[in-house]
Amino acid sequence: MSDTTDIDALIAKLANALGEHLARHDRHRPLMVGVHTGGVWVARKLHELLAIEAPLGTLNINFYRDDFTRIGMHPMVTPSDLFNVDDRHVVLIDDVLHTGRTIRAALNEIFDYGRPASVTLGVLVERSGREIPVQADAIGQSLNLSSHEYLKLSGPDPLGLEITDKT
Amino acid sequence: MQSPGNTFQVDAHGRLKHFLSIDGLERALLINILDTAESFAGVGERAVKKVPLLRGKTIVNLFFEPSTRTRTTFELAAKRLSADVLNINASTSSTTKGESLLDTLRTLEAMHCDMFVVRHAQSGAAHFIARHAAPHISVINGGDGRHAHPTQAMLDMFTIRRHKGNFASLKVAIVGDVTHSRVARSQIHALVTLGAAEVRVVAPRTLVPPGLESLGVSVHHDLRAGLSDVDVVILLRLQNERMQGALLPSSHEYFQYYGVTEERLSAADPDAIVMHPGPLNRGVEIDSDVADGSRSVILQQVSYGIAIRMAVMSMAIGSHAAADQEDG
């Protein structure tokens, strides 16, 4: 993608949209959680921009994937690091919302840590290709891509968006 | 003792298919097991102590020898992975009615099971079952005769890594009845493979098998010298049920010379940890002051055992799933 240098602008836009969404729904003292790996990179920046008090949580959804029976165990790098989510307003962050399967897995995992008061989903890029009914509450950018185009966030420093054609 | 078919445990892509012995596995795979266990270690502390990874899989604990700790931690590990678990205590089942091991195996296969965890008094039993089981079935050795107890060794390695970080500078003493101990054999293979600086075996002459040095260990018969400056002390249970013949005058005599007390432990590094696979014979191989003391990590070994068993179960079933996909 040509405008990779505008990642900071996208993150700022997402931070604004998230801030507004949380204020509009009276979701105070939120608990931010990033999905490994790209979601954590984005969440780190948002956590700072929105000055969230509670430490950043991270989710590794490997144990919740729906393709374990197809591809087996992934090598594990970083396990989930999440505090008690009971009655908290969780803000879930991922880099790219595509099929929706990652978010399905992440939601399942969050609920195994307790019963949150609410979950808000923020993504840097929302792209076409949903396979299950999942939608973001706040987004940095929307992209229409064909099924053979693959969008990936590279990072952590600097962050960049790349589109590769898988045909 | 060499295991038959070392490569048999690993598929063409280097993935764990069965977990039968440490012998023959590469360092990278052992580290992968430890890392995977690390990611499971927190599951027991969450509100829901379960992950859905092995949902819909059936795991059979096939125990031909009594065991409480190993069986319950395997059972708990399987349940925390959301698998369904069958516990078969073979000493009270059809094997006592004369059914052969292969008939038992075929019967369980007909129930569409995915994994067998096998404990047997005969060395090589888990290998035998792995060789004859249907291709989609994974076998994990939960202890076979005097041969191997690989998940116990890996949970010990996990405990050591948690406390000491790195293996490269470590001096480890394994104290006790090595001759009858499948745990010791697996520990020695694991420590040597992971690159521990020094592995010592400390035991009376009658409880050390000949040729043990060829595995890469040094043998000591004096406890104090054996414990000198070590970072890790691993005690073994005196296995009265496996002893035949007069190998020891008495367990009291054994404690006189080889029982680990606080006083004797002073020869080790001040930060040394003390481990024991359990069950403990207090006042035989270990003094109560040591077992309950600040350097004892014996109960942590039990907790870590669940994470290690979750790791090998999910890796083995996962590799079968992936292989099926590639074939299909």
Chain B residues close to A62, C-beta within 8 Å? 39
C-alpha B171/C-alpha B218 separation (Å) is: 11
pTM for this prediction: 0.88
pLDDT of residue B97: 64
**Cβ <8 Å between A60 and B39:** yes
Tokens encoding A154 = 């590279």
pLDDT of residue B124: 93
For residue A69, the distance in angstroms to the closest alpha carbon of chain B comes to: 5
Q: For residue A140, what are the domain limits?
A: 4-165
Closest CA to A14 of A116, A136, A150, A98: A136
A166 pLDDT band (50/70/90 cuts)? confident
> Above pLDDT 70, what percent of chain B?
93
- Do residues A33 and A110 make contact, with C-beta atoms less than 8 angstroms apart? yes
pLDDT of residue A69: 73
Q: Residue B105 corresponds to which amino acid?
A: L
pLDDT of residue B39: 87
Alpha-helical (H) ranges within chain A are: 7-24, 38-49, 68-71, 101-111
Convert the pLDDT of each residue in A46-105 to its tens digit.
Answer: 999 999 999 999 999 988 988 887 777 765 667 788 878 999 999 999 999 999 999 999
Across the interface, which of B48, B318, B325 has its CB nearest the CB of A73?
B318
pLDDT at residue B290 greater than cutoff 60? yes
Which of B11, B36, B39, B315 to mutate: most A Cβ within 10 Å? B39
Taking all residues of chain B, what is their mean pLDDT, rounded to a whole number?
91
**Cβ <8 Å between B51 and A63:** yes
Please give the full DSSP string across A80-93, using - where no structure is assigned. Answer: -B----TT-EEEEE
Of all residues in chain A, the one with the smallest CA distance to B315 is A73
Global ipTM: 0.77
SS3 state of residue B173:
strand
- Of chain A, the end-to-end C-alpha distance in Å amounts to 17
**Cβ <8 Å between A114 and B47:** yes
Is B46 touching A (CB cutoff 8 A)? yes
> Above pLDDT 90, what percent of chain A?
79
Q: What is the CATH number of the domain that holds A92?
A: 3.40.50.2020
Of all residues in chain B, the one with the smallest CA distance to A78 is B39
C-alpha A67/C-alpha B192 separation (Å) is: 36
For residue A9, the distance in angstroms to the closest alpha carbon of chain B comes to: 34
pLDDT of residue B53: 92
pLDDT at residue B247 greater than cutoff 60? yes
B5 pLDDT band (50/70/90 cuts)? very low
Size of interface A-B (CB pairs under 8 A): 64
Give CA B34 to chain center in angstroms. Answer: 13
Closest CA to B224 of B269, B258, B177, B273: B258
SS3 state of residue A5:
helix
C-alpha B310/C-alpha A132 separation (Å) is: 30
Across the interface, which of B35, B50, B321 has its CB nearest the CB of A76?
B35
Interval B3-29 mean pLDDT: 85
pLDDT of residue B327: 65
**Cβ <8 Å between B325 and A112:** no
**Cβ <8 Å between A63 and B52:** yes
**Cβ <8 Å between B15 and A72:** yes
Across the interface, which of A69, A76, A78 has its CB nearest the CB of B321?
A69
Domain count, chain A: 1
Convert the pLDDT of each residue in B107-138 to its tens digit.
Answer: 999 999 999 999 999 999 999 999 999 999 99
Q: Residue B299 corresponds to which amino acid?
A: L
Interval B21-49 mean pLDDT: 92
Q: Which residues of A touch B (CB under 8 A)?
A: 60, 62-64, 68-73, 75-80, 84, 86, 108-109, 111-114
Of all residues in chain B, the one with the smallest CA distance to A66 is B53
**Cβ <8 Å between B47 and A113:** yes
Across the interface, which of B38, B47, B320 has its CB nearest the CB of A79?
B38
Better pLDDT: B241 or B324: B324
Which of A76, A80, A81 to mutate: most B Cβ within 10 Å? A76
SS3 state of residue A161:
strand
**Cβ <8 Å between A73 and B38:** no
Residues with Cβ within 8 Å of residue B225, at least 6 apart in sequence? B267
For residue B43, the distance in angstroms to the closest alpha carbon of chain A comes to: 9
Domains of chain B (ranges, CATH numbers): 6-148+305-320 (3.40.50.1370), 150-302 (3.40.50.1370)
**Cβ <8 Å between A75 and B318:** no
